[in-house]
């Protein structure tokens, strides 16, 4: 089977600012209970995903293009660029900001705790 990704535009994602586009690669049913999200995520310029906690799941980010600021569980801020992997463990919190004039594009995978 071949199909197009399903695009979802979200304003103020997780309490952040601006617009974030989720290009869902698999939906929850296709993840067969193993996860909640597998998507290409585009954080538009001067937008963000707000700081939020992962309870019962984990979410790695893989940066594809652009630059951003990853806010880690302890509140520390780290500049990220293509090739970086941001790891969020079960129970931890995080956020992501794009304070540039270009899109920040990354892959996100929310996996359920075993």
Sketch the domain layout of the chain as residue ranges.
6-112
Residue 40, pLDDT score? 98
Q: For 25-76, write each residue's pLDDT tens digit.
A: 999 899 999 999 999 999 999 999 999 999 999 999 999 999 999 999 999 9
Question: Quick one: fold of 6-112?
Answer: Jelly Rolls (2.60.120)
On average, the pLDDT of the chain sits at 96
Assess whether pLDDT exceeds 90 at residue 114: no
Residue 21, pLDDT score? 98
- d(CA 56, CA 21) in angstroms, rounded, equals 24
Alpha-carbon distances of 79 from 16, 45, 88, 96, 104, rounded to whole Å: 18, 15, 16, 10, 12
- d(CA 99, CA 55) in angstroms, rounded, equals 27
Residue 76, pLDDT score? 98
Assess whether pLDDT exceeds 90 at residue 1: no
């Amino acid at each position: 089977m071949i199909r197009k990704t399903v695009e979802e535009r979200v304003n103020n994602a997780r309490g952040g600012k601006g617009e974030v586009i989720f290009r869902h690669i698999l939906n929850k049913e296709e993840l067969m209970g193993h996860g909640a999200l597998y998507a290409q995520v585009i954080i538009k310029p001067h937008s963000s995903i707000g700081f939020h906690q992962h309870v019962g799941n984990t979410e790695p980010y893989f940066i594809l293009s652009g630059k951003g600021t990853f806010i880690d569980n302890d509140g520390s801020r780290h500049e990220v660029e293509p090739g970086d992997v941001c790891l969020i463990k079960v129970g931890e919190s995080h956020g992501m900001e794009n304070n540039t004039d270009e899109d920040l594009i990354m892959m996100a995978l929310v996996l359920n705790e075993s």
